[in-house]
Amino acid sequence: MNFARGLSHAVVFFKNANVTDADLLAFVPAFNGYVTHGSPRVEKIRLNGSPVSDAALKVFRKAAPKCEVER
């Protein structure tokens, strides 16, 4: 995670490019801000070439519209 904009914002970077469709959908609560009180809301996810399908990305973007996705 990167907190360059402060603790209230976060960027998640998957350097090993190992995120699957199931992983991405399991992350939706965190990327929507529904995590433990005091945890940052994730504003951006960098998949770094992970093998995530377009269908899973579409579902993720609909479920977490405030989170930017970089493939």
Q: Where are the domains of the chain?
A: 9-70
| Distance, CA of 42 to CA of 13 (rounded, Å) | 11
Q: Determine how β-strand 9-13 pairs with β-strand 41-46.
A: parallel
Q: What is the pLDDT of residue 49?
A: 94
Among residues of the chain, what percentage have pLDDT more than 70?
A: 70
CA dist 21 to 2, 27, 28, 35, 50, Å? Answer: 23, 10, 11, 20, 9
Q: Which SS3 state, helix, strand or coil, does residue 62 take?
A: helix
- pLDDT at residue 43 is higher than 60: yes
Return the amino acid letter for 59.
Answer: V
Section 26-55 average pLDDT: 77
Q: Which of 28 and 58 is assigned the larger pLDDT?
A: 58
In the numeric block, the tokens 């529904």 are attached to 34
